[in-house]
Amino acid sequence: MTTDLQVVPARRGRAVRLAKGQAIQIINTHGQQVVDTWCFNADDMSEFMSMEHLHATLQGIFPAKGDGLTTNRRRPILILEEDTSPGRHGAIAESW
């Protein structure tokens, strides 16, 4: 497993391609907020992580460890492995 650290300045973005089964760790170095995260299916960019569809799948707004984060086709695209930030985080907006 390689560990490539990529620092993304505030108000900027970075794209990282992950292979199936690969993990990514996202760390906010400047506070306690959840970092906005988008995810697309690399084989079909019209499929993307969707909070609207996640709400229907979870029947709520609070994803928990082990939950699949779903796409606009209601298929899991990421799995929430761990959340070490304090408090509970609701997935309200289209970006999370």
More confident residue, 93 or 72: 72
Q: Give 10-44 pLDDT, tens digit per residue.
A: 788 888 899 988 998 888 877 766 677 889 999 99
Furthest C-alpha separation in the chain:
36
Q: Which residue carries 């909070």 as its tokens? A: 51
User: For residue 95, what pLDDT is reported?
Assistant: 42
Residue 36 to residue 26: CA distance in whole angstroms:
10
Residue 66 to residue 22: CA distance in whole angstroms:
15
